[in-house]
Amino acid sequence: MFGVQERFDVPRSPAVLIKGSPGSRRERRAVTSNKSSASATSDTVVMTKHLVSIAQHRDKEAFSKLFAHYAPRLKSYLMRQGANQASAEELSQEAMLSVWRKADRFDPTKASAGTWIFTVARNLRIDALRKERRPNFDPEDPAFVPEPEMSPDRAVEVGEVQVKIKAAIAQLPVVQAEVIRLSFYQDKPHGEIAEELNLPLGTVKSRLRLAMRRVRTALGEEQ
C-alpha cells in the first residue's frame, strides 16, 4: 500500500527523471554505496561466524571459506607493505595457518574476524623484517666453530680438577656455596642472584670473592 502511494502520489524532481542528469547519477551512487556497505557488513558478520566455528568445532569447511576470502586480501596488503610477491604469498599462507591453529584465541566481542586476521599477518610481517635485519650467518665465524676434541690425558686432568673443585665447594659455608652454584653452574648474573636471594648486590659480590678465595686455597693445599 505504502509502496504504491510513494510511487504514484509523491512527485519527484524532474532532474531525477532525466537520464544522465546529476541528480540521477547521485541517486545511483548513493544506492550503489548503500549496497556495498551492506555487503561489506554482511561479509564481516559471516566471516566472524566462520572464525568462531573454527575455534569451537575445528570446522574445515568454514576455514576453507575464510581462506578463500582473506588469503588474496592478505597477499595484496603485504605487498603494499613492501613484501615481494613470493614473500607476500608465503606470509599470507602462514598467517592463515596461524589463524587455524590459534582460532581459539579469537574474541568476537573485541574485534571482527578481518581485524584479527590482518593483525596476525602484520605481526608475521614484523617478525620477518626483524629476521631479515639480523647479521648474515657465517659458518666460519669462530663462535660457531666447535672446540677441538680433548685428548684422553687432558680429559683425565680436567676431571680430577673438577672433583677437587666440587670437594672444595662442599667445604664452604652454605651461603657462599649457594652464590657459587648460582653464578658458575647456572650462569646467572650477579644482579639476578641478588634478586633471587633477596640480598644486596654488594653482599653477593663479597660472598663470591670469599668463596673463590677459599676454593683457590683448597686447591693449592691439595696440589
pLDDT for residue 155? 65
pLDDT for residue 117? 93
60-94 burial, b at 16+ Cβ within 10 Å, e below that, comes to eebbebbbebbbeebbebbbeeebeeebbbbbbeb
pLDDT for residue 187? 75
pLDDT in tens, 165-186: 788 888 888 888 888 888 877 7
Task: Compute the residue count for the chain.
Answer: 223
Mark the ranges of the chain whose per-residue pLDDT is less than 50: 1-24, 27, 30-33, 35-38, 137, 143-145, 222-223
Rounded to whole angstroms, the Cα distance separating 41 from 173 reads 72
- Under CATH, to which class is 156-218 assigned? mainly alpha
**Nearest by Cα to 123 from 99, 104, 139:** 99
How far is the first Cα of the chain from the last one, in angstroms, to the nearest whole number?
Answer: 112
**Domain 45-132 matches domain 156-218 at the CATH topology level:** no
Rounded to whole angstroms, the Cα distance separating 26 from 45 reads 29
C-alpha cell at 124: 608475521
Amino acid at 5: Q
pLDDT for residue 190? 86
Report domain extents, the chain: 45-132, 156-218
pLDDT in tens, 95-120: 999 999 999 999 989 888 999 999 99
For domain 45-132, give the fold.
Answer: Rna Polymerase Sigma Factor; Chain: A (1.10.1740)
Per cent of the chain over pLDDT 90 is 23
C-alpha cell at 1: 500500500
pLDDT for residue 151? 64
Is there a contact between 148 and 179 (Cβ–Cβ < 8 Å)?
A: no
